[in-house]
Amino acid sequence: MAVEVVYRSSRDLERLFMDKAEADRHDKMLELAELLTEVLQKAVPSLNEAQGEELGIYMAKNRDVFAKAFKNQPDALSELNAPAAE
């Protein structure tokens, strides 16, 4: 019988990872998404909870693109408009 080590995200108990670093990255992304959601809902009170979460996760997953855009490279946002490669 083989033993397999898996890692579980502490913020997303449904997801399992084969690599601890990957699980840690996922947790950090979810932490950022949670904070972004709070800020967005405070800035735009008309956002419902689901919309705020969706926006927070989207921004956290694309944090590198948003970071470039906020550092005087607004054209970086065009990466998000490109059709997804399948």
Residue 5 within any structural domain of the chain:
no
Q: Domains in the chain: how many in total?
A: 1
Residue 46 within any structural domain of the chain:
yes
CATH classification at residue 37: 1.10.10.710
Residue 39 within any structural domain of the chain:
yes
Residue 16 within any structural domain of the chain:
no
- Report the C-alpha gap between 4 and 2 in whole angstroms: 6
Report the predicted TM-score, pTM, of the whole model to 2 decimal places: 0.79
* pLDDT tens profile 17-58: 899 999 999 999 999 999 999 999 999 999 999 999 999 999
Residue 6 within any structural domain of the chain:
no
Residue 67 within any structural domain of the chain:
yes
**Sequence-separated contacts (24+) of 37-46 with Cβ below 8 Å:** none
Q: What is the pLDDT of residue 10?
A: 82
pLDDT at position 86 over 60: no
Question: Which token pair is 43?
Answer: 């800035």
Q: 22 CB contacts (<8 Å, ≥6 apart)?
A: 7
Query: What domain range is 71 assigned to?
Result: 24-81
